[in-house]
Structure 1
Amino acid sequence: MHKQEECPLASARVLEDQASAKGRVLRVAAGLFRERGFARTTVRDIAAQVGILSGSLFHHFANKEAILAQLMEELILLVGDAMEAQLCTATTPKARLKVLVACELKAIHGEIGTGFSILVTEWRSLGAASQRQILALREHYEQRWLDCLATLKAQGALAAEPQLARHFIRGAAMETWHWYKPGGPLSVDALADQLVALVVHP
């Protein structure tokens, strides 16, 4: 008898571990990097908000860049986990795109991880070695999008080229940080439906 494939469970990440000191450092750093920027945030700022001495922070991270690098890595993996857990229930390419858009929006607005926008705004703050490491994860993350958009293109449901459509969706999603209010009359899922409708033919 064929066993029905189950959706994978999201794997544990340090960022989401409420009991972990390292997780607290990452969460605090994410908020500060998003609000002040990486350059204007000091190790002392992070330690003060976590409630530890600055020197104690170096038990967990070699330096401030190491915090940013692990934070970016964890954010990509967390959102990827959420996507994979939901994609197995999406039966059409359009439904799969809705999952991708909704998960990215939830990451931007703090429902998955926190500080997802720093992947764009603070990319240049990473050194070359860290950029290479994060870029490999980003390429895997982006491939989910391109595969889905390419299928829609092949079906005639997408007019734009998949890469351009992805750039448009990413930019539109990131821009919602400036105007969308979570908890308002428009839910994140409804917002995702609207964004999908902008690029996919009925």
Structure 2
Amino acid sequence: MMCSTRPLPTVVAAKRPRGRPPKTLQERNEGNRRQDIVKAAAKLFRRHGFNGTSTRDIASAVGMHSGSLFCHFASKDELLYEVVQEGLRRALARQTIVLLATHDAATTLRQLIRSHFDTLLGQSSDFMHAVLYESRSLNTRQRNVIAKLQGDYEATWMPVLQALSSTGYLQVEVPLARNLIFGMLNGSAQWFNPKMGISIDDLTDAVVALCIHVPRQSQNRT
């Protein structure tokens, strides 16, 4: 009896779709709950301070049992770490948009200052308050990570300041100018109130006027 030489049928494996599989409804709900917790924590940390806010307070703010909070974060410390990172992520995202545009150095500096004020005093202000005033409660490893992110954020200002310095528009040493500028900007979180009748654009114009000196040669041309 002869054996058949007909080839066996080939089973073609179904191709896996590219990218990550879509999240399930439960995963989306869990992600939303986590974001709600982070936002509520940022607001409460600003209002009462990290030490003055309990996990019970945070859970209550999002309508959860206090124990349920630990399904999302191992501790209040970890939650603070996430709040601080979120603040810096938002700041870096805004800054990236500014730096992708092509402008002269003076315009870029103005937009960087405006972007920083938006992050510091706008809708992200609760997160940035944690960055400025609550990150001291983080552990050493966490503080080192945050310091690296802050360093990356501030370092992108240096080429802009150096360009202004080389053309005479900035008459202070660049590292000192950077420190003074961030001191002015961050200090506004302590006293700025929209009810004062001062807009963020007004603040931006004031800082630019203090930082940029128009060289005499350029004044003569105008």
TM-score tier after normalising by the smaller chain length: 0.7 to 0.9
**Aligned match of 1:57 in 69, 72, 83?**
69
Runs of 4+ in 1 over 4 A off after TM superposition: none
Q: Which has the higher contact order (CA 8 A, sep 6+)?
A: 1
Query: Do the aligned residues in 2 keep the contact of 1:109 with 1:182 (CA within 8 Å)?
Result: no
Tell me the distance in 1 between the aligned counterparts of 2:174 and 2:40: 36
Query: Do the aligned residues in 1 keep the contact of 2:86 with 2:127 (CA within 8 Å)?
Result: no
**Aligned match of 1:66 in 71, 78, 99?**
78
Partner of 1:189: 201
Alignment partner of 1:29 is 2:20: no
Q: TM-score, normalised by structure 1?
A: 0.83
Alignment partner of 1:42 is 2:54: yes
Tell me the distance in 2 between the aligned counterparts of 1:31 and 1:130: 21
Partner of 1:171: 183
Tell me the distance in 1 between the aligned counterparts of 2:105 and 2:88: 22
**Aligned match of 1:154 in 166, 185, 190?**
166
> Percent of aligned positions with the same letter in both sequences?
32
CA deviation digits over 1:129-157, x for unaligned, max 9?
Answer: 11122122111111112222222122221
Partner of 1:89: 101
Q: CA deviation at 1:184?
A: 5.6
- Quick one: which amino acid aligns to residue 134 of structure 1? I
**Aligned match of 1:138 in 147, 150, 164?**
150
Q: CA deviation at 1:166?
A: 2.0
**Aligned match of 1:107 in 103, 114, 119?**
119
CA deviation digits over 1:78-110, x for unaligned, max 9?
Answer: 111111113333511111111211111111213
Query: Do the aligned residues in 2 keep the contact of 1:93 with 1:152 (CA within 8 Å)?
Result: yes
Query: Do the aligned residues in 2 keep the contact of 1:48 with 1:54 (CA within 8 Å)?
Result: yes
Helix, strand or coil at the partner of 1:20: helix
Query: Do the aligned residues in 2 keep the contact of 1:107 with 1:114 (CA within 8 Å)?
Result: no
Tell me the distance in 2 between the aligned counterparts of 1:178 and 1:72: 18
Partner of 1:77: 89
Tell me the distance in 2 between the aligned counterparts of 1:90 and 1:113: 27
Q: TM-score, normalised by structure 2?
A: 0.76
**Aligned match of 1:201 in 197, 213, 216?**
213
Unaligned stretches of 5+ residues in structure 1: 1-18
- Quick one: which amino acid aligns to residue 139 of structure 1? G
Helix, strand or coil at the partner of 1:75: helix
RMSD: 2.0
Report which of the two structures shows the higher radius of gyration computed on alpha carbons.
2
